[in-house]
């Protein structure tokens, strides 16, 4: 029976290729959206790591006030090896930029230094050569490296003879001992791995990973860590009494809870888009079923059961769902490429999405969706087909023959309006939030699109002395400023609005420790041309110059937020600020200037007071290792990227420039999660609007067509066009009003949920709701009035004979 119904359904679809293509296309768009979002969930939440990681935990440092999660000081890591009873094994890693020279000149790569134990914990083994051994972790061991499979294939021609080959890594010679598996890039897009020898007293920041023993819970390990908090003595983790250890699943460390929350919200919005597509297709199928009502009545009269009639409609729905995957799967593929290329192409976030694809989980979900969409699109038409008034259907053209179908179709129109309102409010909330965030002042007068920023990888051994590093940046910036296309250039470890130098505790000299702990500030290390490059306004005092040398008075420039926090109502210039108050290594600096509030970080809601220190007084500090370049140019700064690389290479041929981009791009990359969310929600809103417009037009056009004879009669007896438009329009306005009312009721808490989740906008923002209402009204009226106007142009005599 079912084979015959499938065959008949196939024939019907082939006779109506336009209807089949439209239905499969609409359904394919909805399925493609949800498959794409499921792929995100599978990649970012279900499988965020390249190996099963249900027992892997990240151990790091946080503050009692909950500001950030920080790496451990290497001494703290060494002290904890084997001391946590609930941990079976542990390891450490340190992501870093690496300069690799295989004989073709230096290239910059993302790389990682890690302990040998990391490979066993992740369950990863080289496809060629050997893994790191405990001997490789020892200080003074011969340098060795592991290559990523992509790097091995592209730069070493997949040569098995690469084992034992010497390459230069950060200026030092190292031996290749192995090649890692394809697609392995732990932790963030890494393509080269080196051992991480650790010695007491080095105070290097590292990330710690631990595998729990069987039967040990996360709560138990947290309790053990709480007992060790008092033993913190060194480095970043011990730099303040406000710091403590914490533990969380390693997958959450890579994909934070807020990102997971947003992905689930996107999935919910995607489900609404699919539901909207299903409503559209269900309406189209209702129309087709209504056109077949005489055929269905004859089959029923000849003894065909209701189950058989329903099976025929459901078979058609299943075929449409299967055809829709011809649209959905390519949509998922190109959606991933769009996301990675347009929004995540720069930065660590992209590496996780590179692994997103069509795997067993996605295919299983696709099968479930096929069955679900078949039910959603086919059950209502199938039910109406099996329970329609057959006697009325046999009286072809009689009044009310399609009444029951019309009532269902009108209800579905209302549902389409409801779903579209909710989706458009979500999209508008995100767009409004993004506008607010990017409109926030960064204290810079220079347009972000006119500043070129870049990082520089320097050979480690050649620049072991910070004074050499300072001389390098002084030489490069001097040559940059001498170029006629450059207005100003600076070396700094912060990019306003995009890259934070560091978070540090501060206090006014002589200030007592507040009950809630020392205040925190954003700290940046900059040279004397920082203000000129970014157009930052100096409000009081002076900025850094040649007087601020390593052997001169330690000085600082603060922003107004810092001045008001430490010396409210007083002149800050000449005051003394303490860095790391309460610690043995606390230092004091004299304030020589005040600038406007400086937004260093990319998170507006976490903006802290700002503090700048001169580059020449920063020798011996770890932030010096993250100093990069920025230059203000005439016109498009990216045009100068090649010249920047040439100038850097002229100073040191082993130096590698990487991530050259405009400040505007750096800001967008720093806020990439919100940018991506806005793009996805905006796309969902646009898709919903197009689906709703097409669905409304189709259903309303059919509804008007069903009343063509009525319109002809009324015109024949003298009714004017305005009266007819009013009669039909009242029904349309009733549907519009009901859909808007219910949609706004649902969109109200939806908007509040989005705003409460960290967006930079008010809940229930009328600048979002009012445009949504206006758009829905215009689209609905156009969708309803255009078919009506066309019907009014039909000659009454033709209309009277249409049935």
DSSP state of 71: P
| 147 pLDDT above the threshold of 80 | yes
Burial class (CB in 10 A: 0-12, 13-18, 19+), 763: middle
Q: What's the pLDDT band for 406 if we cut at 50, 70, 90? A: low
Tens of pLDDT, residue by residue over 594-616, are 998 877 765 544 567 889 999 99
What's the pLDDT score for residue 136?
Answer: 94
DSSP 235-253: HHHHSSTTEEEEEEEHHHH
Q: What's the pLDDT band for 629 if we cut at 50, 70, 90? A: very high
| 70 pLDDT above the threshold of 70 | no
Mean pLDDT of 718-725: 73
What's the pLDDT score for residue 234?
Answer: 42
Mean pLDDT of 172-191: 90
Burial class (CB in 10 A: 0-12, 13-18, 19+), 347: middle
What's the pLDDT score for residue 188?
Answer: 79
What's the pLDDT score for residue 441?
Answer: 52
Q: Where do runs of H (alpha helix) occur along 343-485?
A: 349-353, 360-387, 390-394, 403-439, 466-482
Tokens of 640: 């100068």
Mean pLDDT of 694-704: 73
Worst-scoring range by mean pLDDT, 73-82, 157-166, 586-595? 73-82
Q: What's the pLDDT band for 243 if we cut at 50, 70, 90? A: low
Mean pLDDT of 484-512: 86
The CB-side HSE value for 175 (13 A sphere, CA atoms) comes to 11
Mean pLDDT of 433-446: 60
Q: What's the pLDDT band for 144 if we cut at 50, 70, 90? A: very high
pTM of the model: 0.72
Residue 668 near residue 655, CB atoms below 8 Å: no
| 235 pLDDT above the threshold of 60 | no
Residue 410 near residue 317, CB atoms below 8 Å: no
Taking alpha carbons only, the member of 582, 689, 39, 721 closest to residue 359 is 39
DSSP state of 675: H
| 259 pLDDT above the threshold of 70 | yes
Q: 776 vs 254, which has greater pLDDT?
A: 776
Tens of pLDDT, residue by residue over 120-142, are 888 889 999 999 999 999 988 99
Mean pLDDT of 781-801: 70
End-to-end CA distance of the chain: 34
C-alpha distance from residue 645 to each of 532, 549, 753 (Å): 22, 28, 47
| 330 pLDDT above the threshold of 80 | yes
DSSP 498-517: TB--EEEEEEETTPPPPTT-
Instruction: Identify the H or E element spanning 136.
Output: none
Tokens of 742: 């219910």
**Residues written for the chain:** 803
Mean pLDDT of 4-24: 81
Worst-scoring range by mean pLDDT, 59-73, 191-205, 710-724? 59-73
- Please state whether the peptide bond connecting residue 187 to the residue before it is cis, i.e. omega within 30 degrees of 0: yes
Percent of the chain with pLDDT over 70: 80
| 727 pLDDT above the threshold of 80 | no
Mean pLDDT of the chain: 80
Burial class (CB in 10 A: 0-12, 13-18, 19+), 132: buried
Q: What's the pLDDT band for 464 if we cut at 50, 70, 90? A: confident
What's the pLDDT score for residue 67?
Answer: 44
DSSP 580-636: STTSTT-EEEEEEEEES----SS-GGG---EEEEEGGG-TT-GGGGG-EEEEEESS-
Give 211's strand partners: 56, 89
Count of Cβ atoms closer than 10 Å to residue 726 Cβ: 12
Residue 607 near residue 441, CB atoms below 8 Å: no
What's the pLDDT score for residue 438?
Answer: 61
Q: 70 vs 432, which has greater pLDDT?
A: 432
Q: What's the pLDDT band for 69 if we cut at 50, 70, 90? A: low
What's the pLDDT score for residue 178?
Answer: 96
What's the pLDDT score for residue 602?
Answer: 59
Residue 416 near residue 277, CB atoms below 8 Å: no
| 238 pLDDT above the threshold of 50 | no
How remote is the C-alpha of 201 from its chain's centroid? 39
Residue 389 near residue 404, CB atoms below 8 Å: yes
What's the pLDDT score for residue 398?
Answer: 43
DSSP 279-290: HHHHHHHHHHHH
Give 578's strand partners: 507, 588
Tens of pLDDT, residue by residue over 343-384, are 655 445 555 666 677 777 788 888 888 888 887 777 766 666
| 748 pLDDT above the threshold of 80 | yes
Count of Cβ atoms closer than 10 Å to residue 502 Cβ: 18
β pairing state of 128-129 and 628-633: unpaired
What's the pLDDT score for residue 555?
Answer: 97
Instruction: Identify the H or E element spanning 384.
Output: helix 360-387
Most confident of 194-203, 462-471, 519-528, 577-586: 519-528
What's the pLDDT score for residue 350?
Answer: 53
Q: 686 vs 445, which has greater pLDDT?
A: 686
DSSP state of 522: E
d(CA 567, CA 515): 18
Tens of pLDDT, residue by residue over 476-494, are 999 999 999 999 999 998 8
């Amino acid at each position: 029976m079912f084979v015959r119904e499938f065959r008949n359904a196939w024939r019907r679809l082939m006779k109506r290729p336009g209807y089949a293509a439209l239905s499969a296309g609409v359904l394919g768009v909805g399925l493609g959206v949800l498959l794409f979002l499921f792929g995100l969930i599978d990649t970012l939440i279900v499988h965020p790591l390249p190996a099963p990681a249900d027992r892997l935990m990240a151990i790091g440092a946080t503050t009692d006030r909950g500001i950030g999660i920080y790496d451990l000081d290497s001494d703290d890591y060494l002290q904890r090896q084997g001391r946590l009873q609930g941990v079976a094994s542990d390891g450490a890693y340190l992501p870093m930029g690496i300069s690799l020279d295989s004989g073709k000149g230096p290239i910059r790569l993302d790389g990682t230094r890690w302990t040998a134990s990391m490979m066993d914990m992740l369950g990863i083994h080289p496809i060629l050569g050997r893994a790191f051994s405990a001997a490789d972790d020892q200080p003074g061991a011969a340098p060795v490296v592991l290559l990523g499979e992509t790097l091995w294939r592209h730069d070493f021609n997949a040569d098995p003879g690469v084992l034992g080959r010497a390459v230069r890594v950060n200026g030092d010679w190292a031996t290749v001992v192995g090649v890692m598996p394809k697609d392995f890039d732990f932790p963030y897009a890494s393509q080269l791995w080196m051992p991480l020898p650790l010695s007491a007293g080095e105070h290097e920041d590292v990330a710690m990973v631990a595998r729990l023993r069987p039967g040990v819970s996360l709560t138990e390990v947290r309790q053990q860590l709480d007992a060790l908090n008092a033993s913190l003595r060194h480095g970043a983790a011990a730099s303040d009494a406000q710091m403590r250890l914490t533990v969380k699943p390693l997958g959450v460390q890579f994909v934070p809870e807020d990102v997971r929350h947003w992905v689930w919200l996107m999935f919910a919005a995607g489900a609404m888009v699919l539901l909207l597509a299903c409503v559209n297709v269900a309406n189209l199928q209702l129309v087709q079923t209504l056109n077949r009502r005489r055929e269905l009545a004859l089959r029923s009269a000849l003894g065909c059961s209701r189950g058989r009639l329903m099976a025929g409609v459901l078979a058609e729905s299943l075929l449409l769902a299967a055809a829709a995957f011809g649209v959905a799967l390519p949509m998922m593929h190109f959606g991933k490429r769009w996301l990675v290329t347009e929004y995540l192409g720069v930065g660590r976030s992209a590496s996780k999405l590179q692994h997103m694809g069509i795997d067993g989980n996605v295919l299983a979900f696709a099968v479930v969706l096929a069955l679900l969409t078949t039910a959603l699109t086919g059950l209502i038409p199938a039910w109406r087909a099996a329970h329609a008034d057959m006697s009325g259907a046999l009286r072809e053209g009689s009044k009310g023959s399609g009444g029951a179908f019309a009532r269902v179709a009108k209800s579905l129109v209302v549902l389409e309006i409801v779903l579209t309102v909710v989706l458009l409010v979500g999209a508008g909330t995100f767009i409004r939030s993004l506008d607010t965030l990017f409109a926030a002042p960064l204290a810079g007068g220079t347009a972000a699109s006119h500043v070129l920023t870049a990082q520089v990888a320097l050979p480690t051994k050649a620049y072991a002395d910070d004074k050499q590093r300072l001389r390098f940046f002084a030489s490069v910036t001097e040559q940059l400023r001498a170029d006629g296309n450059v207005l100003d250039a600076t070396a700094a470890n912060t990019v306003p609005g995009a890259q934070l130098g560091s978070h540090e505790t501060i206090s006014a000299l002589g200030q007592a420790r507040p009950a809630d702990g020392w205040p925190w500030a954003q700290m940046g290390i900059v040279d004397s041309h920082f203000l000129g490059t970014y157009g930052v306004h100096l409000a009081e005092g002076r900025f850094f110059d040649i007087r601020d040398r390593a052997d001169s008075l330690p000085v600082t420039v603060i922003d107004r937020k810092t001045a008001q926090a430490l010396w409210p109502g007083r002149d800050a210039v000449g005051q003394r600020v303490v860095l790391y108050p309460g610690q043995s290594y606390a230092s004091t600096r004299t304030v020589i200037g005040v600038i406007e509030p400086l937004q260093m970080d990319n998170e507006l809601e976490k903006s802290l007071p700002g503090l700048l220190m001169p580059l020449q007084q920063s020798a011996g500090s770890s932030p010096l290792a993250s100093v990069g370049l920025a230059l203000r140019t005439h016109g498009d700064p990216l045009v100068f990227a090649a010249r920047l690389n040439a100038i850097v290479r002229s100073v040191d041929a082993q130096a590698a420039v990487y991530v050259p981009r405009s400040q505007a791009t750096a800001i967008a990359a720093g806020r990439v999660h919100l940018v991506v969310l806005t793009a996805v929600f905006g796309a969902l809103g646009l898709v919903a609007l197009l689906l709703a417009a097409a669905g409304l037009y189709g259903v309303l056009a059919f509804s008007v067509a069903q009343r063509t004879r009525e319109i002809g009669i009324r015109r024949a007896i003298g009714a004017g066009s305005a009266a007819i438009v009013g009669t039909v329009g009242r029904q349309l306005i009733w549907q519009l009003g009901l859909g808007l009312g219910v949609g706004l009721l649902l969109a109200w808490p939806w908007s509040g949920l989005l705003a409460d989740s960290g967006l930079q906008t008010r809940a229930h923002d009328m600048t979002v709701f009012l445009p949504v209402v206006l758009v829905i009204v215009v689209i609905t009226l156009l969708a309803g009035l255009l078919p009506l106007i066309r019907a009014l142009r039909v000659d009454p005599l033709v209309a009277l004979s249409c049935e």
